[in-house]
């Protein structure tokens, strides 16, 4: 994987990487992807299609559950303004 691919990937993952991280993580990613290519050895025709899922049709009734006071959740927010959670946005 070249650096530009790593950059796009980091971008999608919302990670800022330092120069040295691009090198060290890049090397490690490379090594593992290389190892993943082992999966290509399997005979394609012998593989089943798609993803198997266990269970189906689990639903819950459309009824209110309120076992946690929302105020407790707001206390975890680093910054609040009235009941809004605040984030910086300098335009």
- Does 4 contact another protein by CB under 8 A? no
Interacting positions 71-90 with another protein (CB under 8 A): 72-74, 76-79, 81-90
- φ/ψ of 80, rounded to 5, equals -130, 155
- Does 23 contact another protein by CB under 8 A? no
Work out the burial of residue 35: count CB atoms within 10 Å of its CB; fewer than 13 is exposed, 13-18 middle, 19 or more buried.
exposed
- φ/ψ of 84, rounded to 5, equals -85, 145
- Does 45 contact another protein by CB under 8 A? no
Can you give the binding site for another protein, defined by CB under 8 A?
1, 5-6, 8-17, 21, 24-25, 28-29, 31-33, 35-36, 38-42, 46-68, 70, 72-74, 76-79, 81-91
């Amino acid at each position: 994987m070249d650096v530009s691919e790593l950059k796009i990937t980091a971008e999608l993952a919302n990670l800022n990487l330092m120069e040295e991280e691009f090198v060290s993580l890049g090397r490690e990613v490379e090594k593992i992807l290389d190892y993943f290519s082992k999966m290509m050895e399997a005979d394609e025709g012998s593989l089943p299609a798609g993803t198997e899922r266990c269970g189906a049709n689990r639903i819950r009734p459309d009824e209110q559950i309120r076992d946690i006071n929302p105020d407790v959740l707001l206390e975890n927010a680093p910054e609040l303004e009235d009941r809004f959670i605040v984030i910086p946005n300098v335009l």
